[in-house]
A and B are shown apart, each in its own frame.
Chain A
Amino acid sequence: NAGVMQNPRHLVRRRGQEARLRCSPMKGHSHVYWYRQLPEEGLKFMVYLQKENIIDESGMPKERFSAEFPKEGPSILRIQQVVRGDSAAYFCASSQLETEAFFGQGTRLTVV
């Protein structure tokens, strides 16, 4: 049973480009979460999704950021027109209802 798979592990984008981060949850998990981690700031919740539905996006910046979890395929976190402040580690986690979440290895985004 493969764990949560994220790709790419490292992503470098120039300012103004788009970044697409992918996450395949663990088999059988229907809940997907995205978190952002910055040094000295801990883990910040961004968005919670179930298949084809965004349940809670209260942690997402209002502009440039979007997420989806289609019926088929991985969950995607999309950042348009990236800026230097978007540089961070982005983690995806998946779970079943009211159980522990399992995390992927993360995507480290660097904006140059």
Chain B
Amino acid sequence: AQSVAQPEDQVNVAEGNPLTVKCTYSVSGNPYLFWYVQYPNRGLQFLLKYITGDNLVKGSYGFEAEFNKSQTSFHLKKPSALVSDSALYFCAALQGGSYIPTFGRGTSLIVHP
């Protein structure tokens, strides 16, 4: 069975500082990995994905994520945080051949001015 863990319920960072939101996964075979962002009272918006290829994936709004197979991690990063990045972030995994993505519990990112 596939599973996704986001070990931090909340991440606090000062504006302008780098941010990292952690995600680890448990998937058989080669995983498809995704990050989504959710703003209050809105649906989830797709940020980026890893399917194959370069371990560093670039996505929307300056976000990137690094796939680390040995550590089974897919941490979300941004070099310089903005207050407007404050939102709920979800990591998701899909096992090759499966149809149902599994989501982590979400991490609330708070960027302080």
Residues of A near any B CB (own CB < 8 A): 4, 6, 31, 33, 35, 41-43, 45, 48, 55-56, 91, 93, 97-106, 108
Contacts and interface: CB of A to CB of B under 8 A. Distances in A.
Contact of B100 (A6, A45, A108): A45
A43 B99 contact: no
A42 B43 contact: no
A42 B105 contact: yes
A103 B43 contact: yes
B94 interface: yes
A42 B49 CA distance: 20
Interface string B19-58: 0000000000000101010000111111001000000000
A45 B98 CA distance: 14
A91 B90 CA distance: 14
A80 B61 CA distance: 41
A5 to B, nearest CB: 11
A104 B97 CA distance: 24
Contacts of B101: 33, 101
Interface of B: 32, 34, 36, 41-46, 49, 90, 92, 94, 96-97, 99-106
Contacts of B102: 45
A98 B32 contact: yes
B88 to A, nearest CB: 9
B104 A100 contact: no
Contact of B43 (A33, A48, A98, A106): A106
Contact of B96 (A43, A55, A98, A105): A98
B42 to A, nearest CB: 6
Given A42-B105, A103-B45, A104-B43, A98 B94 contact: yes
14 contacts: A33-B101, A42-B90, A42-B103, A43-B44, A45-B100, A45-B103, A56-B100, A98-B97, A100-B46, A101-B34, A101-B46, A103-B36, A103-B45, A106-B42
Which of B41, B43, B105 has the largest number of chain A CB atoms within 10 A?
Answer: B43
